[in-house]
Amino acid sequence: MPVMAVMMPGMGFSMGPGMKGGAVGGVAAAKAEEKVEKTLFDVEGRCSESFIKMHIAKLPCSVKQEHKGEKAKEATMSKKGEVVCVTGGSGCIGSWLVRLLLDRGYTVHATVKNLKDEKETKHLESLEGANTRLRLYQIDLLDYDSIVTAINGCAGVFHLASPCIVDQVHDPQNELLDPAIKGTINVLTAAKENGVRRVVVTSSISSIIPSPNWPADVIKNEDCWTDVEYCKQNSLWYPLSKTLAEKAAWEFSKEKGLDVVVVNPGTVMGPVISPVLNASMVMLVRLLQGCTETYEDFFMGTAHFKDVALAHIIVYENPSATGRHLCVEAISHYGDFVAKVAELYPEYQIPRNLIVCCPQISFETMCHAQKSTFPMCVEALKLSRLPMDTQPGLLRTKNGAKKLMDLGLEFIPMEQIIKDAVESLKSEGLSVTVLLCGQFEQRRGGLLSGAKNAGGAVLGK
């Protein structure tokens, strides 16, 4: 996606307000909440569905709705040379998606925020097949005309572009909500007007969690939605933006008859193609340098860049793929992730008080332990000053992404995800200075890629 205020693709989480020690405070926070209140919430404080419906109702729908007969069901979605658009093609997930699409013979229209910025373009132009089958477009999510130009002539669209802000959010409406929600509607409108067959929307696990009212004995799945009231009350603007943007996509699909499918990635890591890190990779860097944050409302499991890109292609090419698709190798806790990183890389400054699982306890045992008083849980608890569950109420399972598994996706396990991510950081000579788990400056090859300031950092997704 374009290099913006950082994904967490949607990267599945965003490091920012609402996390312990990171919330916006004082007058600035109050003004931000008041501004959002006027536009997204009704007088009783509920999320205003009319905000979404109002914008969709005003949109044109000149393209006739196609009848979904048997021929449509039997149609082959994948065609060599087919033209597709990838919004946010310069980001970590977007770059991988562009790469795999080119490998499969697609012609790709990839969008960036600034064509003159080599950090957005050079790595894409160097991909195999890019010389003849890749075209870059500069877009602004709030500029409909720029989006139409990129989508014109495309059979399919992958909408990844969406802002993700690390640390403080000073103006939620303009920085997150408008680009995410109105940007999604603009992309879908352009797709409908151009006769696009199917749109894959990149949402996030942040539209599934936080969901504190979900039944405690039920594993979270695609039926679970983020609690917008909880987000509002805790200044969780990124999950709010992803949730409302996805709801807008579904409302548009229903009202305008556009074929939409959604991928909900978790914390996405692995070998980095883009020169700018996404929020998930920054989370890993911060952990390696001693950050003690537990990401209570932002973590649901990990996924490899390649798997997330493949998930997008699978749901695009498979006519039977419908609805939402949770994309994690397993539903797990941040504590599980920390324990595995510490086991694999003991030389780094992993906070020992974060290792909540005994290395001798398998993931399967942990899954079993959450349903019983398994003795090893007591042993695990002794190793930590924190609760065993860094994500209270989140039940672990290896089959959280069953819908994608049933479509044939075989997930890379957490251990390999971590190895690929850390080794990628090492091989690229990346050095990151983390200050108080907050501000940072990222350098790669001597080039300043991130930004360090009082308001937080800007990254690519």
Task: Catalogue all structural domains in the chain, each as residue range(s) with its CATH number.
Answer: 26-333 (3.40.50.720), 335-390 (no CATH)
Sign of CA dihedral 359, 294, 344, 221: positive
Residues labelled as active-site residues: 242
Q: Provide the edge-to-edge strand list for the sheet that holds 440-444.
A: 431-434, 440-444, 447-448
Distance of CA 414 to the CA centre of its chain: 17
Share of the chain above pLDDT 90, in %: 62
pLDDT at residue 353, as a whole number: 53
- List all residues 6 or more positions away from 361 whose beta carbon is below 8 Å from its beta carbon: 369, 376, 379, 380
Q: What is the per-residue pLDDT across 319-364, written as a single tens digit (0 to 9) for each?
A: 999 999 999 999 999 999 999 999 999 998 887 655 544 444 455 5
Instruction: Say if residue 4's pLDDT is above 50.
Output: no
pLDDT at residue 427, as a whole number: 86
Contact 203, 262 (CB under 8 A): yes
Q: Please spell the DSSP secondary structure of 27-57, one letter per residue.
A: HHHHHHHHHHHHHHB-TTS-B-HHHHHHHHH
Rounded distance, CA 18 to CA 232, Å?
10
What crossing angle do the helices spanning 334-344 and 279-288 adopt, rounded to 10°?
Answer: 60
- Strongest mean pLDDT among 29-38, 91-100, 441-450: 91-100
Instruction: Say if residue 47's pLDDT is above 80.
Output: no
The two tokens of residue 356 are: 């909540």
pLDDT at residue 166, as a whole number: 58
**Averaged pLDDT for residues 229-235:** 96
Instruction: Say if residue 288's pLDDT is above 50.
Output: yes
The two tokens of residue 268 are: 């996405």
pLDDT at residue 58, as a whole number: 57
Rounded distance, CA 163 to CA 405, Å?
29
Rounded distance, CA 321 to CA 134, Å?
26
Q: Give the lowest-confidence range in 36-50, 65-79, 247-261.
A: 65-79
- Strongest mean pLDDT among 67-81, 138-152, 352-366: 138-152
β partners of residue 109 = 85, 135
pLDDT at residue 456, as a whole number: 30
Coil, strand or helix at 76: coil
Q: Is residue 408 very low, low, confident or very high in pLDDT (cuts 50, 70, 90)?
A: very high
Q: What is the per-residue pLDDT across 183-211, written as a single tens digit (0 to 9) for each?
A: 999 999 999 999 999 999 999 999 999 99
Please, what is the average pLDDT of the chain? Answer: 78
- List all residues 6 or more positions away from 6 whose beta carbon is below 8 Å from its beta carbon: 14, 163, 164, 165, 166, 278, 279, 282, 457, 458, 459, 460, 461
**Averaged pLDDT for residues 167-186:** 93
Q: Is residue 422 very low, low, confident or very high in pLDDT (cuts 50, 70, 90)?
A: very high
